[in-house]
Structure 1
C-alpha cells in the first residue's frame, strides 16, 4: 500500500512552524506534501499563520512598523487588522511556550530572526528547491462562528487559488478547511484541485459544515464531507477507528489523518487504510515507512551556489 507523509506546518516538531526554515527542513527530510495555514492581512496579503489572532507562542513583538504605531504591540491582535509590514516585524522563529510541558519546545530547533512569510514566498522557496513533485496543501483559516476575526471566505479562497495558479501549482495543490463553505467555493473556482474536508469534534455542527446537519446523513461525517464537495476526508486522529474508516471507504473518500506523531498510532492508522498522515515529525514517520518496506518521499537537496 502507498501512503503519503505530509509535513504539518512544515515540520513543527523540528523547526518553527509555518516558516521558510521549517518548510526547507521538511523538504530536505522528504515529504509528499507540505501542509500550511494562510490568513488575509489588512492590506489583502496572504500570510502564513495558524491563528487568526497573532499567537504569543509562535510570535513575539520586536518593534513597531513605524513610530507611534497605535496598534503596537501586535501580539494578540487579529491578523486581519494588521498589514504585512506590521506582521513582518514579528519574530516567529523562536517558540515561546506558555508552560514547561509544551511538547514541541524540547524538540523544535529555534531559528532566530525569522519573519512571517507570504504564501508567494513559500511557493517561491519550493520552486527554488526544484521540489516540483511535492504538493502544497493550503489550509484556509476561517471561523464561521467568529466572522469578525477572519476574511470573507470567498475572497480568501479566490486569492489563494489565484496565487497557486500564478505559480502553476493548482494541479499539485489541495485546498483544506474546517469551514466547509470554502470547499464549495473552491469546487466552483478550481474543480480539478483537491479539496480536504477537515474535521474535529469541535467542528461537527452545521455552522462549520456549510449548513449540513449530520442527522440528515445518519451521523455519517464522511457522507456529509462528500456532499459538501470534499474529495478527501481529513479527520483528527482521535476520531478514527474501524467504523470511521469503513464509512470513508463507502463514501469513496481517501482518508488523510492529522496530526500523527507517534509511530505506534501511525501504524494503527495505516492498518485502517489511511491514505496519508499529517505529522509534526516527518523523520519519525519516514522511519516507520522504512520499517514496513514502504517507499519514502524523496529527500530534496537544496541548490547551492558553488562559486567559480
Structure 2
C-alpha cells in the first residue's frame, strides 16, 4: 500500500492567502506531502502561480494576468486581501515553488489554467522548467483542458497527468487510459469505493478535490484513494 498523498490545495489556503509562498511553506509545516497549485503565464512569458485569469480577487488589479508583464505583477500585493500580515506576499513564479520543494520529497500537482485564456506554449514551458529542476518524477500535471494533457504526454511521457472534471463521468478510468492519463482528479462527491477499486485495477489513481471535512476525508481514505486535495492539510495529516 503506497502512502496517501496529502495535497495542500493552492498551498495551506485554509490559513494563508492561496497560491503564495506563505501558503506553500505553511503547507509543508502542517504535514502536507503534496502541493496543488495553478500555473498561468504573464504577458512576457513567465510562469506564475495564480488561480483566476483576472487579478482582481487576489491581487487587487482589474486586469487579466495575460496582459501584465512579470515585473509589474511582482509589484502587486497578493496577500493583503486575506489579512494585513500577508500584505508583502506576491504572485510567485513556478521557479520559486520548485526551489522550495526541490530538497524535500514533496509531490507537486501543477494545474494548467488554459481554458478561458489559451496560453501559447504553456505545456512546453512548464515541462522544460520541471525538467530543469530534475523534478519530473515528482510532478503530476492536471487540467480541465484535456487536449492540453494529451499534449503534455506527447512532450513528456515520463510526467504523470491527471484529468480534472466536475461531474460523474461514466467509467472515467477507461477515458483516462484512452488519453494516456495516470489519475482522475474528481470532485469529492464523484468518488465511490467500487470506482476507486476498478480504476486501480486499470492502473489509474483517484485524487479527489477539495476535501475539508474530516468525515469526508475518512470516507475517501477508506475508499482507497491515492491522494486527497485539501485546504487544511493538518486535518488530513491528523487522520493519516
| Normalised-by-shorter TM-score class | over 0.9
Cα deviation code 1:205-233 (max 9, x no counterpart): xxxxxxxxx7xxxx322211221221111
What are the within-5 Å matches in structure 2 for residues 91-110 of structure 1? 91-95=77-81, 110=85
Structure 2 residue matching 1:86: 3-state secondary structure:
helix
The partner residue of 1:241 within 184, 192, 201 is 192
Cα deviation code 1:133-174 (max 9, x no counterpart): 11222111111xx4xx2313xx00000011111111112211
Cα deviation code 1:115-144 (max 9, x no counterpart): 1111011112223xx32x11222111111x
Cα deviation code 1:170-226 (max 9, x no counterpart): 12211111111121111111111111111113xx8xxxxxxxxx7xxxx32221122
**Partner Cα distance (2:233, 2:220) in 1:** 16
Q: Does 1:231 align with 2:217?
A: no
Larger radius of gyration: 1
Q: Does 1:165 align with 2:137?
A: no
| Aligned twin of 1:302 | none
| Aligned twin of 1:275 | 226
| Aligned twin of 1:79 | 65
The partner residue of 1:142 within 87, 110, 114 is 114
Structure 1 residue matching 2:205: 3-state secondary structure:
coil
Q: Does 1:261 align with 2:212?
A: yes
Shift of 1:95: 3.2
What are the within-5 Å matches in structure 2 for residues 121-132 of structure 1? 121-127=96-102, 130-131=103-104
Contact 1:15–1:109 under 8 Å retained in 2: no
**Partner Cα distance (1:12, 1:222) in 2:** 29
Aligned CA-pair RMSD = 1.9
Contact 1:39–1:150 under 8 Å retained in 2: no
Q: How many equivalent residue pairs?
A: 239
The partner residue of 1:119 within 94, 99, 102 is 94
Give the gaps of 5 or more residues in structure 1.
61-73, 97-107, 205-213, 290-308
Q: TM-score, normalised by structure 2?
A: 0.92
**Partner Cα distance (1:234, 1:55) in 2:** 27
| Aligned twin of 1:4 | 5
Relative distance call for 1:109 and 1:283 in structure 2 (3 A) is: farther
**Partner Cα distance (1:189, 1:255) in 2:** 23
Contact 1:41–1:83 under 8 Å retained in 2: yes
**Partner Cα distance (1:134, 1:241) in 2:** 27
Q: Does 1:286 align with 2:237?
A: yes
Shift of 1:112: 1.5
Contact 2:193–2:224 under 8 Å retained in 1: no
Relative distance call for 1:87 and 1:150 in structure 2 (3 A) is: farther
Between Structure 1 and Structure 2, the one with more helix by share is 2
Contact 1:233–1:254 under 8 Å retained in 2: yes
Q: Does 1:190 align with 2:156?
A: yes
What are the within-5 Å matches in structure 2 for residues 173-184 of structure 1? 173-184=139-150
Structure 2 residue matching 1:42: 3-state secondary structure:
coil
Following TM superposition, the consecutive aligned residue runs of length 4 or more in structure 1 with deviations greater than 3 angstroms are: none
| Aligned twin of 2:119 | 151
| Aligned twin of 1:69 | none
